[in-house]
Chain A
Amino acid sequence: MSKKISIVLTGVGGQGVITAANILGKAAVKAKTGVFVSEIHGMAQRGGAVVCTVRMGGVSSPLLPSGTADVLLSTEPVEALRNICYVNKKTKVITDINPIIPFTVAVGGEQYPKLDEIFKEISAHAELYKVDALKIAKEAGAVITKNTVMLGALAASGVLPFKPEVLLETILEDIPEKYKDVNKKAFEGGMKAVQSA
């Protein structure tokens, strides 16, 4: 039975978390490794918190036990913290550092924690990799490539059972010709961000 790999993807509804999970799943099929992806649709997509899980290798279940994620990939810092139950000391938490403040802060009087505190708390439980996906995406040439940056960062984590090229190729498949170059740059930018961390 091949090694199990569990990746948790989190973020905010509308950020493209489900699309990212789908791309990972497709790459796994291409690499001929077992894969099981779990998504939440519906109500959760109207700006709510989103969690997807992608499991590869010899897995039977779409969900993973607590504390067994190999990677927690988050497109928003507080969403990484919300799902901290999935991590252990060896888990790589890769998160975008750009917050999206939920409306409950403005309307409901809740607090969005200071970024430093969020990162300190994550570091206490797991290996933290911070990625400024917005900046890297801008440098690559399009803000919309933020998720490609994050997938590049994931590819550089060394956890995936296939080469980064397989993932990049899968991302580029559904992208119009004229945007392929910016996405390639974004992916490489994401990889570098983790490699140099």
Chain B
Amino acid sequence: MVFIMTEITEDKPGKQILLLGNEAITRGALEAGVDVATTYPGTPSSEIADTFSMIAKEATRQKKDPGFYFQYSVNEKVALEVAAAASFCGLRSLTCMKHVGLNVASDTFMTYMYVGCRGGHIIVSADDPYCHSSQNEQDNRYFALFGGAPMLEPTTPQEAKEMTRIGFDISEQLHLPLLLRTTTRLNHARGPIILNALQKPRKKGYFTKDPLLVTVPSTARVKHPVLLKQLEEAEKLSEKSPFNEIITIGKPKDIGIIASGVSYTYVKEMAEELHLNVKILKLGMTHPLPRKMCETFINSCSSLIMVEELEPFLENQMKALAFDIGSDVKIYGKSSSHFSRLYEYTPDIVAEAFSKIFKVKNPFPKPVFSKIKVPSRPPSLCPGCPHRATYYAVKKAAPKDAIYPTDIGCYTLGKAPPLEMADVLLCMGSNAGMACGFSVATQQKIVSFMGDSTFFHSGIPPIINAVHHNHDVVITILDNRTTAMTGHQPHPGTPFDGMGRPARLINVEDVVKGCGVQHIEIVDPNKIKETTAAFKRALEFKGPSVVVSKSPCILLEVQRKRKAAEEIQLFHINQEICKRCKTCIGRFGCPALYFAEDGSVHIDAAQCNGCGNCVQVCPFGAISAEGST
């Protein structure tokens, strides 16, 4: 049985609790008796895995069995493979990742559909319309179409739980991994959840050999038609799926709306607020589409309004269906410019489009704007963040036109002034690959940056590439002992795993050495002079060099100090010595430092995390520890 620790693991069918969309997905998996869950963390998916981790850690602490196996894998591709193997043994598995994570796992994903699964397997893709915390807003529904995966799209946390729970059955019935496609506004929405009973996990499976699991060309040619057959079966399920339904608002005649995902919630509420008479085809199983159901719906409409965030995934398919059945239905959507392919939708966007299409008044007041300019407040590197010290040292060591390829993590925030230490970013691990290319294409010096978790994820192959081809680059690994940005998850460089069990720690520098790097510098970035000197040596070295900048994330340090009841050292500025040269603010850029109205510089004690790096930065020795003279 699943280990009970909080409401989320309670076996109380019918009880109502408040859960985050992501937590609801975890609960749904527990209700389906999930055996193996894997991930690589990424916003907005992280809390699905973090909830598994939290349950497992508490079980480990109490020396009990959590009922499932969980792992933060090294990257999304490995995560999918670990869970796929469990499925081949007949176990139920779940793999979650952010949308771009599926790009990393796509090689596995595409052929996995040919092979098919045995135990039910849910693959969660958390898409991020508006790029709240992502480098793009790709629409992963096309992966379902591309690979041939059945797909569900929830509209609320309650539905996310149900689709996960029932999704396992669908996956098992079809022998296909199922894509649960979510978006930020669902992952990070909280709503009431009605609990179902928890199902007993299967625990250990058995691998029965089958030559058709080996996808040599002759197998692939056999398996592709099998996949198409399975998708025909999936379409039959879609026709009967309770997740595809028609909802009526007012007294509808021949105007229909088709919506999926969170957009549906805006459609329903705005249709009611605008007193429309419409029928809504709410699609929850969006691949394969319930063709007959859609054709019947199209046939009953003279006008059809398509409301879906991002790409015209449903719209284009509906157009094709309308063509096939010779319908002259008028379709409003992205192609008619009533809806955008960009960003998140909102109730405002949907109300505005409806008021144009239905020629009714938008009942909501025009939004008011502030006449006063509001200062921007983007996220920034925390006070005391060791990355700031590393960047400061590199800036002192490198020539002005040096190129700084960066990567995915907190350190991307080094893009902001005054540091401006990010010149180009594509995806996880891209820093070092691009560094190699720059060294071929220019005479400029190159210093690239990646975090420790990114290093293990996809940063190692480009280092090997740099060594083998002798690229003249400096590759920096910002080793803060955690996956900070997504919520401090462990990685292979930490001495414990996602279940809170002791794990073998893999040293970044040992791996780098193993890759054949000849010049390796290991620095503590909080010693700014030494760090600057190390980067100078690395830049002078002809060929690839690696600097491992080691210092734990300041948030973990502060947490550790608080737990140990250690004081956090405060610092102050001696106003008699301070020349207001602005080095600490204008060049180092710690957000705990500020100008008072008279132009004097001070340290905000509430924000300072006590790193003391500003003491080293001040050219006049005006900053010192509180309590010292």
Contacts of B416 in A (CB 8 A): 107
Tell me the bound Cα distance from A56 to B370 in angstroms: 27
Query: Chain A 57-69 against B: per-residue CB contact (8 Å), 1 yes, 0 no?
Result: 0011111111110
- B51 an interface residue at 8 Å Cβ cutoff? no
Contacts of B268 in A (CB 8 A): 60-61
- B377 an interface residue at 8 Å Cβ cutoff? yes
Tell me the bound Cα distance from A10 to B262 in angstroms: 22
Tell me the bound Cα distance from A84 to B368 in angstroms: 7
The segment from B335-343, B457-465, B524-532, B588-596 that touches chain A is B588-596
- A105 an interface residue at 8 Å Cβ cutoff? yes
Contacts of B589 in A (CB 8 A): 103, 107
A41-B269 contact in complex given A13-B379, A29-B17, C-beta closer than 8 Å: no
Tell me the bound Cα distance from A7 to B591 in angstroms: 30
- B18 an interface residue at 8 Å Cβ cutoff? yes
Kindly report which residue of chain A lies nearest to residue B273, judged by CB atoms. Answer: A65
CB-based contact B347/A113 at 8 Å: no
Shortest B578–chain A CB gap in Å is 15
Contacts of A2 in B (CB 8 A): none
Shortest A45–chain B CB gap in Å is 7
CB-based contact A117/B379 at 8 Å: no
- A111 an interface residue at 8 Å Cβ cutoff? yes
- Within 335-390 of B, Cβ neighbours of A (below 8 Å) are at 346-348, 351, 364-382
Contacts of B410 in A (CB 8 A): 46
Contacts of A175 in B (CB 8 A): none
CB-based contact B262/A62 at 8 Å: yes
Contacts of A125 in B (CB 8 A): 368
Contacts of A67 in B (CB 8 A): 364-368
CB-based contact B133/A121 at 8 Å: no
Contacts of A107 in B (CB 8 A): 416-418, 585-586, 589
CB-based contact B364/A65 at 8 Å: yes
- B43 an interface residue at 8 Å Cβ cutoff? yes
Contacts of B266 in A (CB 8 A): 60-61, 63
CB-based contact B44/A42 at 8 Å: yes
Contacts of A159 in B (CB 8 A): none
- A22 an interface residue at 8 Å Cβ cutoff? yes
Contacts of A16 in B (CB 8 A): none
Query: Chain A 71-106 against B: per-residue CB contact (8 Å), 1 yes, 0 no?
Result: 000000011011011111000000000000111111
CB-based contact B376/A106 at 8 Å: no
- B236 an interface residue at 8 Å Cβ cutoff? no
CB-based contact A37/B189 at 8 Å: yes
A35-B18 contact in complex given A42-B133, A46-B410, C-beta closer than 8 Å: yes
Q: Classify chain A's interface size.
A: 35 or more
CB-based contact B44/A36 at 8 Å: no
Contacts of A177 in B (CB 8 A): none
CB-based contact A106/B594 at 8 Å: yes
Contacts of B377 in A (CB 8 A): 12, 47-49, 78-79, 82, 102, 104
Q: Which one, B156, B365, B370, B413, contacts A66 given CB within 8 A? A: B365
- B192 an interface residue at 8 Å Cβ cutoff? yes
- A141 an interface residue at 8 Å Cβ cutoff? no
Shortest B600–chain A CB gap in Å is 12
Contacts of B133 in A (CB 8 A): 41-44
Tell me the bound Cα distance from A154 to B372 in angstroms: 26
CB-based contact B371/A121 at 8 Å: yes
CB-based contact B380/A46 at 8 Å: yes
Interface residues in B, total, Cβ within 8 A:
63
- B575 an interface residue at 8 Å Cβ cutoff? no
- A176 an interface residue at 8 Å Cβ cutoff? no
Q: Which one, B16, B132, B382, contacts A29 given CB within 8 A? A: B16
Contacts of A157 in B (CB 8 A): none
CB-based contact A44/B269 at 8 Å: no
CB-based contact B347/A63 at 8 Å: yes
Contacts of B262 in A (CB 8 A): 62
Tell me the bound Cα distance from A61 to B272 in angstroms: 12
Tell me the bound Cα distance from A68 to B348 in angstroms: 11
Contacts of B373 in A (CB 8 A): 110-111, 113
- A180 an interface residue at 8 Å Cβ cutoff? no
CB-based contact A81/B192 at 8 Å: no
Contacts of A35 in B (CB 8 A): 18, 190-192
Contacts of B379 in A (CB 8 A): 13, 43-48
A113-B372 contact in complex given A41-B133, A42-B133, A62-B265, C-beta closer than 8 Å: yes
- Within 4-53 of A, Cβ neighbours of B (below 8 Å) are at 12-13, 21-22, 25-26, 28-29, 34-49
Contacts of B369 in A (CB 8 A): 84-85
CB-based contact B347/A46 at 8 Å: no
Shortest B248–chain A CB gap in Å is 14
Contacts of A34 in B (CB 8 A): 192
Q: Which one, A64, A87, A108, A118, contacts B372 given CB within 8 A? A: A118
CB-based contact A39/B375 at 8 Å: no
Among A36, A61, A81: residue with most chain B CB under 10 A: A61
CB-based contact A42/B485 at 8 Å: yes
Q: Which one, A40, A78, A102, A112, contacts B132 given CB within 8 A? A: A40
CB-based contact A113/B368 at 8 Å: no
Contacts of A59 in B (CB 8 A): 269
Kindly report which residue of chain A lies nearest to residue B363, judged by CB atoms. Answer: A65
Shortest A173–chain B CB gap in Å is 11
CB-based contact B370/A121 at 8 Å: yes
Query: Chain B 186-211 against A: per-residue CB contact (8 Å), 1 yes, 0 no?
Result: 00111110000000000000000000
CB-based contact A81/B190 at 8 Å: no
- B185 an interface residue at 8 Å Cβ cutoff? yes
The 6 A-B residue pairs with the shortest CB-CB distance, nearest first, are: A42-B133, A42-B43, A67-B365, A48-B379, A66-B367, A46-B379
Known pairs A29-B16, A42-B46, A44-B132; list 11 more (Cβ under 8 Å): A44-B133, A62-B185, A66-B364, A66-B365, A78-B375, A82-B377, A102-B378, A105-B594, A107-B586, A110-B376, A125-B368
- Which B residues have a C-beta under 8 Å from some C-beta of A? 16-18, 20, 43-44, 46-47, 132-133, 156, 184-185, 188-192, 262, 265-266, 268-270, 272-273, 346-348, 351, 364-382, 410, 413, 416-418, 485-486, 585-586, 589, 591, 593-595
Give me 19 A-to-B residue pairs in the complex whose CB atoms sit less than 8 angstroms apart, sorted by A's number.
A21-B190, A25-B190, A35-B190, A38-B190, A39-B190, A41-B43, A41-B188, A44-B379, A46-B381, A47-B380, A47-B382, A61-B269, A62-B189, A64-B347, A66-B367, A85-B368, A107-B589, A111-B375, A113-B372
